[in-house]
Structure 1
Amino acid sequence: MYSMWLDAEHQRLWRTHLAMVGRLQTAMHRQLQEACGLTLADYDVLVALSEGGPMRINELGEALAWEQSRLSHQLRRMRDRDLVERRDSPDDRRGAVIALTEAGQRHLRVAAPGHADLVRSVVFDGMTADEERALTAWTSRVLHRLGG
């Protein structure tokens, strides 16, 4: 008979995973706030724009897997702090793109080393090559099932 609950082992694994993700996000947010006054959401936007260049809002939303309303509010806050700017699209005179400002680039340069150090020390240090391959395979399968 199908149970609506997870079995004990899956429940333990799932709860451990959720706790890890939550604590990791808290640690990343705290590290970014202390190092340079950025939130984790600020950092996510800055990284996406640094990797993808200026993007239309819908493209940025897809890259971040964020809802339109969340992204709009986040971009407004970041524009108010001069981290990003809205520019006319070079491809379409009616459209606009979001781009990093000089200040946004500076903040990212300050934030990235400490962020990478935290992720490396907490997540990857001590991980074997087999564990890394297994984690990559598992997360890729889950993302695929979610349509991403």
Structure 2
Amino acid sequence: MPTEPGTTAEDYSLLLEDQLCFALYAASRAVTARYRPLLDELGLTYPQYLVMLVLWEREPLSVGDIGAALQLESSTLSPLIKRLETAGLVVRRRSPDDERSVVVALTGKGREMRQQACAVPPVIGDAMGLTAEQRGTAMELLRTLTAGVARSE
């Protein structure tokens, strides 16, 4: 149970305001809601935006590699990628090296969208109201938290 030395189960509160999980949930919902009008202008949902971020960084990628980067299952990704393909932003094709693997690449339209998307992070950053140092600290803590929870499974 508790891993901090000297802590017992009784040291943990059941008050909602004391739940780190709720603070994370509320923050995630608030940030995602702030993204919505910005991404609506691009014609993307937040999960689709995440897929595009990965592809703008490095493409082409297999569906499995995109899933690994986003920590999502292929069954969750496939409909997202299909909608991106329908919108003309990506193309899917079987890997020539492995017929079982589907590779996703950006289209010209998908690459051009990157320029428009560059306006999104500064707006979100301003909305968060954090200094660069605070953002770095938050990222470090969240990555530590994610890794710790993943290890505990």
- Normalising by the smaller structure, the TM-score range is 0.7 to 0.9
- For residues 81 and 139 of structure 2, the distance between their equivalents in structure 1, rounded to whole angstroms, comes to 31
Percentage of matched positions with identical amino acids: 22
Query: Is the Cα–Cα contact under 8 Å of residues 43 and 108 in structure 1 kept in the other structure?
Result: no
**Matching residue's letter, 2:125:** R
Q: Deviations over 1:104-141 (max 9, x none)?
A: 1122221222x112222022x44263x34532331121
What count of residue pairs does the alignment treat as equivalent? 143
Which structure 2 segments of 5+ residues have no match?
A: 1-7
- For residues 136 and 19 of structure 1, the distance between their equivalents in structure 2, rounded to whole angstroms, comes to 17
Q: Mapping of 1:1-148 within 5 angstroms?
A: 2-3=9-10, 6-8=13-15, 11=18, 13-33=20-40, 35-89=41-95, 92=97, 94=99, 95-113=101-119, 115-123=120-128, 125-127=129-131, 129=133, 131-147=134-150
Cα distance, 1:3 vs. partner? 4.4
Query: Is the Cα–Cα contact under 8 Å of residues 32 and 39 in structure 1 kept in the other structure?
Result: yes
TM norm structure 2: 0.77
TM norm structure 1: 0.80
Q: Secondary structure at the match of 1:98?
A: strand
* Distance change in 2, residues 1:10/1:133 (3 Å): farther
Superposed structure 1 runs of 4+ greater than 4 Å apart = 7-10
Query: Is the Cα–Cα contact under 8 Å of residues 16 and 22 in structure 2 kept in the other structure?
Result: no
Cα distance, 1:13 vs. partner? 4.8
Cα distance, 1:25 vs. partner? 0.3
Q: Deviations over 1:71-108 (max 9, x none)?
A: 01111111111111013435x15343101111111222
Which structure 1 segments of 5+ residues have no match?
A: none
